[in-house]
Amino acid sequence: MKISKISVTAITVCALTILSGCSGMSQRDKNTAVGAGVGAVGGAVLTGGSGIGTAGGAAVGGVIGNQVGK
């Protein structure tokens, strides 16, 4: 599969935009975001891609990430 130059540029711009959005976050906010992301992936894997499992995992992971280092 060949990836076009436009696709690579679009992905790069999106990645830089997302990363720059995290620059003003506190450490606790970053932990919450990472926890939600990891929880969403874990919930999706455990439930076979169910939307409810993904959302539930994100919620639980966000709470855990928020409480880490408190």
What is the per-residue pLDDT across 39-65, written as a single tens digit (0 to 9) for each?
A: 988 998 898 888 899 899 999 999 999
Task: Tell me the pTM.
Answer: 0.67
| Residue 1 one-letter amino acid | M
Kindly list the distances between the CA atom of residue 24 and the CA atoms of 11, 46, 68, in Å, as whole numbers in the listed order: 22, 33, 19
What per-residue confidence (pLDDT) applies to 1? 57
Task: Give the separation between CA 40 and CA 63, rounded to whole angstroms.
Answer: 12
- Selection from 23, 22, 31, 41 nearest residue 63 by Cα: 31
Contact 32, 9 (CB under 8 A): no
